[in-house]
Amino acid sequence: MKKINPVRINDPLHLDTLAENTLLAATSFPELKREKANVIKAYDDYDANAGNVWNIPIPTISGKLLSGLLSHYDSPPESLNFLDRITKSSPEVCPMCGGFKPSTRDHILPKAQYQILAIFSKNLVPACDCNMKRNDAVKGDPATQARILHPYYDGIMSDRLLSCEITHKDNFRIFNLKIIYVNPAHPEIAAIKYHTKNVVIKSGVEGWLKGQLSKIKERPSNVIQTLPRKRHQSVAQVIDCINDCLDRNEELTGTPNNWLSILCHGILNSAGVVDWITDRHNATLVT
């Protein structure tokens, strides 16, 4: 998860160009020319309500224009060449799940349900394959207004929201690990939980974190790369190295909710794990 700035796109100008394109008679001409004001109203309402799915009114437009906008997303006319700029706007980390190198885009309000927003730049964020795994999840229990978080509008994505709890059996022969919430009493906890369950966990973060623990068992310095590979370390020195690793990754990715920082935070806050890592480090020094 990461709060990012949207790519600057002049959506009404792109709509103007599309609306005048007589070559699009099979999809959006002349419907877009006639109904453009309603589409722009949907964009304005989206922005005014910070992309919050519970609050955005959706105006009615013709069925032909709805499927036309969807078709323009799937096969973009040249005037929609900004879409690739959105895909490339967060190269280090997926703003939706905190995973690695997003190579596609996600519709925050899914295009299957909200066709009117199919080509609206602020409804499109860079994402990894969590996009497919999330499917059309967008809102949960109306009583709590649970919903997907929005990387352009939800400033809380800049805060540390997630950690992990590591437990073990037989002196770390078997691990268990689960994602936990840093502040279970957070005022936005319903949205944080909904987003985490439907995006972050579905993206496979827990499996990745467990895999890192297995690598730590072999040689901690391969994962906590701030640990000196050849030097004996005290528990206090290992804690410093893990904090340093956490801070570096937060700075590199621009978010405390990247997966390696979630791991470091969980290690520092799970009973006995730092002591175990210290023992493993000193037992596996590179000579």
Whole-number minimum distance, CB 237 to Zn ion, in Å? 34
Q: What are phi and psi of 164, to 5 degrees?
A: -140, 155
What is the closest distance, in whole angstroms, from the C-beta atom of residue 48 to Zn ion in the complex? 27
- Give the nearest distance from C-beta 210 to Zn ion in angstroms: 18
203 vs 212, which CB is nearer to Zn ion?
203
Closest to Zn ion by CB, 14 or 150: 150
- Decide whether 91 or 228 has the Cβ nearer to Zn ion: 91
Please report how close the Cβ of residue 287 comes to Zn ion at its closest, in angstroms. Answer: 40
Our CB check for Zn ion shows the closer of 205 and 267 to be 205
Nearer to Zn ion, 97 or 117 (CB): 97
| Least distance to Zn ion, CB of residue 239, Å | 30
The residues binding Zn ion (CB under 5 A) are 94, 96-97, 99, 127-128, 130
